Amino acid sequence: MKLWLIFAIVTTLFWGVWGALIEIPEKAGFPATLGYTVWAITMIPCALVALWVIGGKLEWDRRSILLGSTVGLLGAGGQLILFQALRLGPAYLVFPIISLYPTLTVLLSVTLLKEKAGRRAWIGIALALVAIFLLSYQPPTSQLVGGYFWLFLALLVFAAWGLQAYVMKFSNETMKAESIFFYMMLTAVILIPFAILMTDFGQPINWGFKGPYLAALIQVLNSIGALCLVYALRYGKAIIVVPMTALAPVLTVLLSLAIWQVTPHPLTGAGIVVASISIYLMAE
């Protein structure tokens, strides 16, 4: 079995389940910003296990710290910016823009890392980008959009996440995956105060089981998925791994149908079909 494929599948599965369940604590009254805080904390045990795998031999030279922290700041920082973008702009416009971040990763990997793929894989990559856009569809709302600052923030997240995957792959060429993930955890924890400052404590917050405790059980799926992504990029090509793992919404949609009993939009259904074909082609 291809190691990159195994780790990519685990990431896709875990992120897909995470995406379907994360709404439960949010709908129960636990804000997404505090959900970020819980996620950052769940990164700690995963990072410790990763360090245990390599005997605690963390790479802490200047270059490793810089690369690992860059990966972490781009990912976690992008998530915090996303919170603000969704406050200012409608989700049905924000998510489609951000969802195409794999295009930036693919472009950078082809031009700078000189990654190549066969014809079947390229067709799969192209279909994946189409599927990601379709799967990110959000029904229009009556939310009024004031100005275009939300667009600037959405583009920042697009750039941050697209660049993060490239730097993650680039770092894997000289660093251990475990060290990269450790610095991802560290930067995520450092940014916790910003998430807390963004939280509206004037609104009721659920501090019961369906709040932080359930959020922790769900967010750990996100953390394990992130660790597996680092491993997938160690053994596989970024131009294939990133678009494939970005198709996690396929599973999210299917699980959401069972949990929330909501019929998907025809565009979302089309995205599932296109994504299935894409995954088959890229996994060859």
* Structural domains of the chain, count: 1
CA 172/CA 147 separation, integer angstroms: 40
Region 12-32: mean pLDDT is: 93
Using pLDDT thresholds of 50, 70 and 90, give the confidence band for residue 140. Answer: confident
Q: Which long-range contacts (C-beta less than 8 Å, at least 24 apart) are formed by 216-221?
A: 216/38, 216/41, 216/42, 218/18, 218/21, 218/22, 218/24, 218/25, 219/18, 219/22, 219/35, 219/38, 219/39, 219/42, 220/42, 220/45, 220/46, 221/14, 221/15, 221/17, 221/18, 221/21
Please, what is the Cα angle at 122 between 116 and 123, to 5 degrees?
A: 170
Look at 52 and 94; give whichever has higher pLDDT. Answer: 52
Q: What pLDDT score was predicted for residue 39? A: 97
Range of the domain at 246: 3-282
In three-state secondary structure terms, 31 is coil
Average pLDDT over the chain, rounded to an integer: 92
**118-136 pLDDT, tens per residue?**
889 999 999 999 999 998 8
Q: What pLDDT score was predicted for residue 259? A: 80
Using pLDDT thresholds of 50, 70 and 90, give the confidence band for residue 239. Answer: very high
Look at 262 and 10; give whichever has higher pLDDT. Answer: 10
Asked if the model's pLDDT at residue 148 lies above 90, the reply is: no
Using pLDDT thresholds of 50, 70 and 90, give the confidence band for residue 275. Answer: very high
Using pLDDT thresholds of 50, 70 and 90, give the confidence band for residue 144. Answer: low
Region 169-177: mean pLDDT is: 94
